Amino acid sequence: MRLGASAVVAAGLLAVGGGSVGLILASQSGYTSPRVAPAVRLPVPLGTVLGTPSPAVVKPVPGPAELTIPAIGVRTSLIRLGLTKTGALQVPPTAAIAGWYTGSPAPGAVGSAVIAGHVDSYAGPGVFYRLRELRPGDRIYVKQQGGTLAVFSVSSVDLYRKSQFPTSRVYGPTPTPELRLITCGGTFDPQLGSYLSNVVVYSVLSG
């Protein structure tokens, strides 16, 4: 009788102890992100700065070569992006590099140029991981082929559910030279294997 009860108590203690350890481990192993180094503030790129285009002179603007965002430590060369078979925006094949949508005007020309990059890869942060940390007034530098810099100033940072993506606002025509940076954000749906929202940074050429 005494032995039986002691055995029950001992088993119970083991269960409580083991369960507690398991709970602690489960709570610590879960809900953690891979560690990311803090953003490095990059130096501002130097070069001839593109002025606001005179309305009467329509000079062709060369395509972009490199993107630098000092505030969030981004510096990447730019690949060319088109559309997928379904008409969606093509995205870079790796998370380490951003791309310019060739159907949009060149950054620095009149209209809204579009550059897209991944927020993360399967394993770690992507080139646009810190895009959502940008604030109005932050500068974005696009070095054109030929070396001229088009300098943009962030006007707003918006988060849209992908199901309610404002296509015409993001990709639509504008009368001034503007630049949109696009990446993913919001909740990640493991079933779909994709984020449910897009982060869009709006910026305008600062003369």
Partner 1 sequence: MITPKALRRRITFLLAAGLTALGLFAFAAPAAMASPTVIAGSTGWLRLAHLSPNTPAVDVYLYSLGNSNAKVVLKHVSYGTVSPYQTVAAGSYVVAMRAAGAAAGSPPVLSTSIKVVAGHAYTVAGMGPKSGLRLQVLDDTLTTPPGRSLVRVVQASLAQTTVTVTAGSQVLAHSLAFGSVTSYQSVAPGTWKVTVAGQSKSASKTFTLTADTTHTIVVLDDPGNLELVDLTDAAGSSALPAGAAGTGFGGMVSRPGSSPLPWAAAVALGLIMVSLGGLRLRRAGVRGSHSR
CB of 42 to partner 1, least distance (A): 20
CB of 116 to partner 1, least distance (A): 5
CB of 38 to partner 1, least distance (A): 15
CB of 61 to partner 1, least distance (A): 10
Residue among 132 and 143 whose Cβ is closer to partner 1: 132
Q: Quick check: 169 and 104 in contact, CB under 8 A?
A: no
Residue 15's H or E segment, with its range, is helix 2-29
30 φ, ψ to 5°?
-80, 160
Residue among 109 and 149 whose Cβ is closer to partner 1: 109
Residue among 25 and 44 whose Cβ is closer to partner 1: 25
Residue among 63 and 186 whose Cβ is closer to partner 1: 186
Least Cα distance to 94 among 122, 66, 72, 73 occurs for 122
Residue among 62 and 188 whose Cβ is closer to partner 1: 188
CB of 82 to partner 1, least distance (A): 9
